[in-house]
């Protein structure tokens, strides 16, 4: 079977065009995606909860938050969810709140059944790509952000980490005081001297 040189040239040209446009589209997307780093203020959002209420991240201001992007089909998400249930119980009284953002294509009913079967004891919100994009994109699941009481990101977890590592990040978020509290504490210590 002999191949035509013209056909090979056409195929090579089409592949080159696809690579060119794919590369430039990726660069364009990278330049418009926000860069989320430590000390970045966590982007606020408005998402629907499983019970139909509109929920904003800012509703949890004053609490340390673990914002978890997950999906029902995600194996590692199924591993960490029972840990999250335990950690929510353990740290709730200290002002800690887990917020799950389901990045599923499934129905709200399917997500609710999954959450119930997993014993989830924290709010689950129906995710949107725009919210994931606001957090720098969600290239892999699970992905979590630890947010301080005053809304700053102190840690970003991509993929599955051990429960102890997640707990250390929670403690870090809980132990970070809002800027106003830090200032008043330093003023008190200078007054006391």
The better pLDDT of the pair 180, 11 is held by: 11
- From the list 61, 32, 58, the residue with the least C-alpha distance to 45 is 58
pLDDT value for 17: 58
Strand, coil or helix: 69: strand
Rounded distance, CA 130 to CA 136, Å? 10
Given a cut of 90, is residue 11 above it in pLDDT?
Answer: no
- Residue 99, strand partner residues: 67
pLDDT value for 18: 65
- From the list 59, 81, 78, 73, the residue with the least C-alpha distance to 103 is 73
pLDDT value for 29: 46
The better pLDDT of the pair 139, 81 is held by: 81
pLDDT in tens, 53-78: 999 999 999 999 999 999 999 999 99
Domain boundaries, the chain: 1-32, 46-181
Averaged confidence pLDDT in the chain? 82
pLDDT value for 36: 59
Q: How many residues does the chain have?
A: 193
- For residue 66, with 0-12 CB atoms within 10 Å meaning exposed, 13-18 middle and 19 or more buried, which class applies? buried
Note the CATH architecture for domain 46-181: 3-Layer(aba) Sandwich (3.40)
Give Cα separations from 161 to 21, 26, 36, 111, 115 (angstroms): 36, 28, 19, 23, 20
pLDDT value for 189: 37
The reported pTM is: 0.73
């Amino acid at each position: 079977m002999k191949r035509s040189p013209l056909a090979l040239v056409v195929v090579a040209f089409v592949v080159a065009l696809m690579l060119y446009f794919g590369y430039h589209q990726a660069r364009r997307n990278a330049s418009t995606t926000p860069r989320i780093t430590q000390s970045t203020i966590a982007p606020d959002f408005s998402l629907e909860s499983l019970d139909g209420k509109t929920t904003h991240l800012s509703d949890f201001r004053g609490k340390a938050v673990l914002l978890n992007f997950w999906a029902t089909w995600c194996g590692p998400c199924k591993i960490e969810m029972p840990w999250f249930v335990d950690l929510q119980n353990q740290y709730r009284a200290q002002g800690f709140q887990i917020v799950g953002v389901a990045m599923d294509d499934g129905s709200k009913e399917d997500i609710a059944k999954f959450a119930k079967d997993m014993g989830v004891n924290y709010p689950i919100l129906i995710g949107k790509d725009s919210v994931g994009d606001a957090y720098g994109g969600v290239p892999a699941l699970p992905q979590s952000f630890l947010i301080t009481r005053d809304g700053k990101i102190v840690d970003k977890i991509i993929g599955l980490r051990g429960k102890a590592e997640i707990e250390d990040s929670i403690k870090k978020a809980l132990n970070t005081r809002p800027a106003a509290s830090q200032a008043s504490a330093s003023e008190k210590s200078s007054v006391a001297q």
